[in-house]
Amino acid sequence: MSNHHETSLTENVVEKWGLLAQYENPAEIYHACEKVRDAGYTKWDANTPFPVHGLDKAMGLKASKLPWIVLCGGMTGPTLAMLFMIWTSAYDYPLNIGGKPLLSIPAFIPVTFELTVLFSAFCTFFGLWALCKLPRWHHPAFNSPTFEKFSDDKFFIMIEAKDDKFDWSKTESLLKASGSSHVEVVED
């Protein structure tokens, strides 16, 4: 028999994910976001119960890539529709009915329009999911009972410990100095 200490595989190892700070109103979180942005943090987010005008600017967020994704999808749909209809009606299976032209572009417009809308809608839906990194079934902030208030009347900033600028004491001091009413550690 061995007398050395064996660790159990079922021991619960908890990793610290980052810090969560609570704010009481839109003005407080707006100014706090400016301070976090100016401090140079890059892996952080703000959560509010309703849209706060200008918060994306205060956070220093870049313009979304979604319009470009939708544009690409919106151009792919009609291009494929036109190529398919021209190929089928003029080359693969041409039908000369009543002397009408084989390439009757006005007849192709409804299908072209519909595929523009369809491809744009698919690119919007799936592009948004990809940009938001969804589906994500669980976020570490959900472990905090305080965070439940974000959908009612509280405002939150979360800063990940993976951020290059992150230091536990300096980041906590920054959040407290920015006017937060509560700062806590979020465990993963």
Helix/strand/coil for 80: helix
The phi, psi pair for 61, rounded to 5°, reads -75, 140
Give residue-wise pLDDT tens across range 131-146.
998 988 888 999 899 9
Domains parsed from the chain with CATH numbers: 16-60+140-165+176-187 (3.30.70), 66-131 (no CATH)
d(CA 90, CA 104): 9
Query: pTM for the full model?
Result: 0.74
Give residue-wise pLDDT tens across range 12-48.
556 899 999 999 999 999 999 999 999 999 999 999 9
Where residue 179 falls (left for φ over 0; alpha for ψ -120 to 50; beta otherwise) is left
